[in-house]
Amino acid sequence: MSLSKDQVQHIALLARLKLDEDEYAESVAKLSKIVDFVDQLSQADTAGVVPMAHPLDAAQRLRPDAVTESDRRDYYQQNATAVADGLYLVPKVIE
Partner 1 sequence: MSEPSPALHARSMTELAAGLDAGDFTAVELTEALLARITDLDGQLNALITVTADAALAAAERADVERAGGSPGVLNGLPIIHKDIFCTRGVRTTCGSRMLENFISPYDATVVERLAAAGAVVLGKANMDEFAMGSSNETSYYGPVRNPWNLECTPGGSSGGSSAAVAARFAPAATGTDTGGSIRQPAALTGTVGIKPTYGRVSRYGMIAFASSLDQAGVITRTAEDAARLLGVMAGFDPRDSTSIDEPVPDYVAGIGKSIKGLRVGIVRQHFDAGLDADCATRIREAIAVLESLGATAVEVDLPNLDLSVPTYYVVAPAECSSNLSRFDGVRFGHRAENATDLLDLYCRSRGEGFGDEVKRRIMTGTYVLSAGYYDAYYLKAQQVRHLIADDFKKAFADVDVIAGPTAPSPAFKLGDKVDDPITMYLNDIYTIGANLAGLPGMSVPCGFVDKLPVGLHIVGPHFGEETLLRCAHQYQQQTDWHEAAPEAFR
Residues 6+ apart with CB under 8 A from 28: 3, 4, 5, 8
Tell whether residue 67 is a contact of partner 1 (CB under 8 A). Answer: no
Quote the least distance from Cβ 12 to partner 1, whole Å.
Answer: 6
Tell whether residue 73 is a contact of partner 1 (CB under 8 A). Answer: no
Quote the least distance from Cβ 2 to partner 1, whole Å.
Answer: 13
Tell whether residue 35 is a contact of partner 1 (CB under 8 A). Answer: yes
Residues 6+ apart with CB under 8 A from 83: 77, 89
Question: Across-strand partners of 87?
Answer: 84
Tell whether residue 82 is a contact of partner 1 (CB under 8 A). Answer: yes
